[in-house]
Chain A
Amino acid sequence: MSKLKKLTQQRLFLPVFCMLLVLCINMIYDAATGHAFYNFFEITMTNDLLNGRIINILNRGSEVAILAIGMTLVVSASAGTDISVGSVMSLCASFCCMLVAGFGVSSVGSAEEFAMPLAVGLIGALVMGCLCGAFNGGLVAYLNIQPMVATLILWSAARAIGLLLCNNLIVYIRVPEFAVFGGYLGPIPTPIIIAAVCVAVTAVVLKKTAMGMYIQSVGINKRASRIAGLNSKRIIFTCYLLCGLCAGIAGIVASSRITSADSNNIGLDMELDAILAVALGGNSLGGGRFNLAGSIIGAYTIQAITTTMYNMGVPSAVTPVFKAVVVILIVAVQAPPVKAWFKKRAAAKAVAQKEVVGV
Chain B
Amino acid sequence: MKKKFLALALSLVMALSLAACGGSQEEAPAEEGGETPAVEEGGSDVITVGFAQVGHESDWRTASTKSAQDVFSAENGYELAFVDCDNDSAKQLEAVRNFIQQGVDYIIIDPIVSTGWDAVLTECEDAGIPVIVIDRTIDDSDKYVSWVGSDFKVEGLACGEWLKAYAADKGITEINALVIEGSTGASATIGRTEGFKEVADREGWTILDSQNGDFTEAGGQEVMESYCQSYEGQFNVVICQNDNEAYGAMTAMDAAGVSYGVDGDVIIVSFDSNKPAVQHVLEGNMNATFECNPMAAPFVDEVIQQLEAGETPEKEIYMEESWFAAEDIVSEITVNGEAMPVIHVTQEVLDARPY
Listed in ascending order, the chain A residues whose CB lies under 8 Å from chain B are 46-47, 49, 51-53, 56, 60, 107, 134-135, 138-139, 141-143, 153-154, 157, 160-161, 163-164, 168-170, 172, 183-184, 233-234, 237, 254, 257-260, 262, 264-266, 307, 310-311, 313, 315-317, 319
Q: Which 9 pairs from chain A and chain B are nearest by CB? A: A47-B257, A316-B212, A138-B7, A142-B7, A310-B226, A258-B217, A265-B216, A168-B56, A138-B10
Q: A168-B62, A316-B210 are in contact. List 8 more A-B contacts (CB 8 A).
A: A142-B8, A170-B58, A183-B255, A260-B217, A264-B57, A307-B226, A310-B226, A317-B184
B272-310 contact mask (Cβ, 8 Å, vs A): 1 or 0: 000010000000000000000000000000000000000
Contact yes or no, B211 A51, CB < 8 A: no
Contact yes or no, A157 B21, CB < 8 A: yes
- Which residue in A49, A51, A168, A237 is a CB contact (below 8 Å) of B229? A51
- Which residue in B10, B11, B58 is a CB contact (below 8 Å) of A264? B58
Q: How far is the CB of A308 from chain B (nearest CB, A)?
A: 10
Report the bound CA distance from A183 to B248 in whole Å: 12
Contacts of A310 in B (CB 8 A): 211, 222-223, 226, 230
Contact yes or no, B7 A141, CB < 8 A: yes
Contacts of B38 in A (CB 8 A): none
Contact yes or no, A262 B7, CB < 8 A: no
A to B CB contacts below 8 Å, 20 in the list? A46-B257, A51-B256, A52-B229, A53-B229, A60-B225, A134-B10, A153-B18, A157-B17, A161-B17, A168-B56, A170-B244, A183-B255, A234-B3, A257-B218, A262-B217, A264-B58, A310-B223, A311-B230, A313-B211, A316-B210
Contacts of B14 in A (CB 8 A): 135, 153-154, 157
**Which of A184, A257, A258, A260 has the largest count of B CB atoms less than 10 A from its CB?**
A258
Report the bound CA distance from A329 to B214 in whole Å: 26
Report the bound CA distance from A353 to B211 in whole Å: 52
- Which residue in A135, A157, A161 is a CB contact (below 8 Å) of B10? A135
Contacts of A53 in B (CB 8 A): 229
- Which residue in A143, A169, A316 is a CB contact (below 8 Å) of B7? A143
Contacts of A49 in B (CB 8 A): 255-257
Report the bound CA distance from A153 to B21 in whole Å: 13
Contacts of B209 in A (CB 8 A): 313
Contacts of B251 in A (CB 8 A): 258-259
Contacts of B226 in A (CB 8 A): 56, 307, 310-311
Given A153-B18, A157-B14, A319-B212, are A163 and B225 also a contact pair (CB < 8 Å)?
Answer: no
**B contact patch SS:** helix
Report the bound CA distance from A233 to B2 in whole Å: 13
Report the bound CA distance from A265 to B11 in whole Å: 26
Q: How far is the CB of A111 from chain B (nearest CB, A)?
A: 19
Report the bound CA distance from A107 to B18 in whole Å: 28
Contact yes or no, A160 B3, CB < 8 A: no
Tell whether B48 is near chain A: CB-to-CB under 8 Å.
Answer: no
Which residue of B has the minimal Cβ distance to A140? B7
Which residue of B has the minimal Cβ distance to A56? B225
Listed in ascending order, the chain B residues whose CB lies under 8 Å from chain A are 3-4, 6-8, 10-11, 14, 17-18, 21, 56-59, 62, 181, 184-185, 209-212, 214, 216-218, 221-223, 225-226, 229-230, 244, 247-248, 251, 255-257, 276
Contacts of B21 in A (CB 8 A): 157, 160-161, 164
- Which residue in B184, B217, B222, B276 is a CB contact (below 8 Å) of A60? B222
Contact yes or no, A143 B8, CB < 8 A: yes
Contacts of B229 in A (CB 8 A): 51-53, 56
Report the bound CA distance from A317 to B189 in whole Å: 11
Q: How far is the CB of A18 from chain B (nearest CB, A)?
A: 22
Which residue of B has the minimal Cβ distance to A183? B255
**Which of B7, B210, B276 has the largest count of A CB atoms less than 10 A from its CB?**
B7
Contact yes or no, A143 B11, CB < 8 A: yes
Contact yes or no, B7 A172, CB < 8 A: no
- Which residue in B4, B256, B276 is a CB contact (below 8 Å) of A172? B276
Report the bound CA distance from A184 to B21 in whole Å: 38
Which residue of A has the minimal Cβ distance to B219? A265
Q: How far is the CB of A311 from chain B (nearest CB, A)?
A: 7
Contacts of A260 in B (CB 8 A): 217
Which residue of B has the minimal Cβ distance to A107? B276
Contact yes or no, B230 A47, CB < 8 A: no
Q: How far is the CB of B167 from chain A (nearest CB, A)?
A: 24
Contact yes or no, A258 B247, CB < 8 A: yes
Contacts of A317 in B (CB 8 A): 184-185, 212
Which residue of B has the minimal Cβ distance to A265? B216
Contact yes or no, B255 A254, CB < 8 A: no
Contacts of A160 in B (CB 8 A): 21
Q: How far is the CB of A104 from chain B (nearest CB, A)?
A: 13
Which residue of B has the minimal Cβ distance to A40? B229
Q: How far is the CB of A118 from chain B (nearest CB, A)?
A: 19
Contacts of B58 in A (CB 8 A): 170, 264
Which residue of A has the minimal Cβ distance to B4? A142
Contacts of A169 in B (CB 8 A): 59, 62
Contacts of A233 in B (CB 8 A): 3
Report the bound CA distance from A47 to B253 in whole Å: 10
Q: How far is the CB of B201 from chain A (nearest CB, A)?
A: 17
Which residue of B has the minimal Cβ distance to A47? B257
Report the bound CA distance from A107 to B185 in whole Å: 31
Which residue of B has the minimal Cβ distance to A141? B7
Report the bound CA distance from A258 to B221 in whole Å: 8
Which residue of A has the minimal Cβ distance to B275? A107
Contacts of A257 in B (CB 8 A): 218, 221
Which residue of B has the minimal Cβ distance to A163? B56
Report the bound CA distance from A230 to B229 in whole Å: 52
Contact yes or no, A315 B221, CB < 8 A: no
Q: How far is the CB of A354 from chain B (nearest CB, A)?
A: 52
Report the bound CA distance from A311 to B223 in whole Å: 10
Report the bound CA distance from A254 to B218 in whole Å: 8
Contact yes or no, A47 B256, CB < 8 A: yes
Q: How far is the CB of A26 from chain B (nearest CB, A)?
A: 12
Q: How far is the CB of A65 from chain B (nearest CB, A)?
A: 16
Contact yes or no, A315 B210, CB < 8 A: yes
Contacts of B18 in A (CB 8 A): 153, 157
Q: How far is the CB of B135 from chain A (nearest CB, A)?
A: 17
